[in-house]
Structure 1
Amino acid sequence: MRVTVYGAGAIGGYMGALLSKAGADVTFIARGAHLDAMRRNGVRVIRKEDEIVAHPRCTDDPSEAGPQDFVILALKAHSVPGVVEAMQPLLGNETGIVTAVNGIPYWYFHRHGGRLEGSTLESIDPGGEQWRRFGPERAIGCVVYPATEVVEPGVIKHVYGDKFPIGEPSGELSDRVQRFSALMADAGLRAPVLDNIRDEIWLKLWGNLCFNPISALTGATLDVICSDPGTRAVAKAMMLEAKAIADVVGVRFRVDVERRIDGAGAVGAHKTSMLQDLERGRPMEIDPLVTVVQEMGTLVGMPTPTIDTVLALVRQRAANAVRH
């Protein structure tokens, strides 16, 4: 099975290393010092129970790999529009694109039904470029739950988790989604096939939408955000606005707002990915986690006053970070 991981950083490198050790023909698309280290020494994954070293093909040129059975898209979501052209050599007629990205993916309204069927979202897919060049029919949804970190070039630390729920936009139990699930199982990773992957996407987004920008604005960790009455109230207001939108587009949440917030708080003194990016001088995933919810609210005619306010503030925070 030919698998390319486009964006072999913390999550992509972890997935690809385990798939490679399990016997898949894996190619990593990466760059910089991380790519150089993996070319020299392979990729090392440090886990609590052991360490593994895998030696997938590593390159910064997708044309070296050719058409794949699956491409795991594991970039930060805001980086995806910039690689649409570069990914084309990887895409054959039967290639599946596994969207292991945060937030709402480009294919969201493919096989969705209703008046929004076939709609694209400008905030995450400018000009509908991903929809046209990747094709929504290639997409397999994927929600990433593990936490990993690149601790030095070529070395990935696994913090927790092994679950990557997947699903077809249509909800069908297709041959390809079953093949990918089995491939992940062979690698010791759980990729249960869901009949409504959008529900799972929203469950994760529900927290990312509020906890990420609040943490970037305050510097607080999850336990503080969820226990402080003020920030908890802001998070809850944002989540209720998002739920009103999700209800309109047919999403069902398996937990309520209070339980979702409590679950995040139980993670402890964890810095969200947005806060980590801010502290490291990296672009933050504002559009895929926040702006896209505002855009969907506009599409369905639902107001988002709290989301609008926090979005304005975190955009200013990002602009100030660039200036300084």
Structure 2
Amino acid sequence: MKIAIFGAGAIGGFLGAKLAAAGTDVSLVARGPHLQAMQQRGLILREAGQESVTHPRVAADAAELGVQDYVVVGLKAHSVPAAVPAMAPLIGPNTAVVMAVNGVPWWYFYGLDGPYRDMRVRSIDPDDVQWQVWGPERAIGCVVYPAAEVPEPGVIELLEGDRFTLGEPDGSRSERVTKLSECFIAAGVKAPVRPRIRDEIWVKLWGNLSFNPISALTLATLEDMVRDDGTRAVIRAMMVEAQLVAEKLGVKFPIGVDKRIEGGGAVGAHKTSMLQDLERGRPMEYEALVGAVAELGRIVELPTPIIDTVLALIRLRAKAG
């Protein structure tokens, strides 16, 4: 089994290190100082107070790696469409594309029962590149739960979590998703296969679409947003709007809004990924987390006034830099 991870930052690097340590034929596509550090001294993983070094194959150009069985995409959602041509050398007739990306996935409507079947999510894939070039039949859903960071080039530090939930868009337990799950589990990460992967996507998205932009607008941590009555009310209103949209699309939520909010607050004085990107001058992935939900609201003809308001604010904040 050959696996390439395109975008070996915090999450991709963590997964790559675990797979390499387990002896998997894994390759990482990276760039800049991070790539150079891995080439010179290997990939360092700091986890649970311990440090380990692996030496996966690394490259700046995917053409050096050849066709893979699985390509794990570890980029931010807004970076993926432009990177599709660069991934072409990795894609063969039977290659599966595993989207380890936050937010609404570009393949969301693929094979979905009902009137919205095979519709496109323009805020995620505006020029239809992923759908047309890869084809949605390659997609495997992946909900990423680990929190990690790159404190210095070539070093990955795991903060918490080790679960990558997998699922086929059609809900089947296919041979390819089963093999991938077994490979991940053998590497020491949790990788359950869920028949309703969209449900799990929404449970994570529920928090991301609200906590992330509010934190970037207020510079507040998770616990501070939940403790403050005002921001908690806005977060809750966004989640309620999102739940109505998701349920119109057939999603079933296993927990309630308030329990999801409390779960976010329980993480503590943690800065969301969007706030971290803002502080480091990086592009924020607000379209995948917020814009896409507003778009789905329009598709199912449900109003999302609070989500739309926060989206307008975070878009302007992003322009301000």
What TM-score results when the alignment is normalised by the length of structure 2?
A: 0.99
Show CA shifts across 1:264-319 (max 9, x none): 00000000000000000000011000000000001010001001111111111111
Aligned residue for 2:280?
A: 280
Report the alpha carbon displacement of residue 126 of structure 1 after superposing the two structures with TM. 1.1
CA–CA distance in 2 between the matches of 1:106 and 1:64?
27
The residue type equivalent to 2:114 in the other structure is G
| 1:70 to 2:74 alignment | no
CA–CA distance in 1 between the matches of 2:163 and 2:96?
19
Aligned residue for 2:310?
A: 310
SS at match of 1:67: coil
| 1:242 to 2:242 alignment | yes
Report the alpha carbon displacement of residue 49 of structure 1 after superposing the two structures with TM. 4.4
Unaligned runs of 5+ residues in structure 2 are: none
CA–CA distance in 1 between the matches of 2:94 and 2:53?
30
Report the alpha carbon displacement of residue 50 of structure 1 after superposing the two structures with TM. 2.1
Unaligned runs of 5+ residues in structure 1 are: none
Show CA shifts across 1:118-177 (max 9, x none): 111110001211001111001110000011110100001011111111000000000000
Aligned runs of 1:166-315 on 2, under 5 Å? 166-315=166-315
4+ residue runs over 6 A deviation: none
CA–CA distance in 2 between the matches of 1:190 and 1:111?
27
CA–CA distance in 2 between the matches of 1:59 and 1:116?
39
Aligned residue for 2:149?
A: 149
Identity among equivalent pairs (%): 57
| 1:158 to 2:158 alignment | yes
CA–CA distance in 1 between the matches of 2:167 and 2:89?
24
Aligned runs of 1:46-57 on 2, under 5 Å? 46-57=46-57
SS at match of 1:170: coil
CA–CA distance in 1 between the matches of 2:319 and 2:127?
23
The residue type equivalent to 2:6 in the other structure is Y
CA–CA distance in 2 between the matches of 1:136 and 1:22?
30
SS at match of 1:58: strand
Report the alpha carbon displacement of residue 24 of structure 1 after superposing the two structures with TM. 1.0
Aligned residue for 2:127?
A: 127
The residue type equivalent to 1:52 in the other structure is S
CA–CA distance in 1 between the matches of 2:132 and 2:190?
31
Report the alpha carbon displacement of residue 60 of structure 1 after superposing the two structures with TM. 1.1
Show CA shifts across 1:204-248 (max 9, x none): 000000100000000000001011100000000000110110010
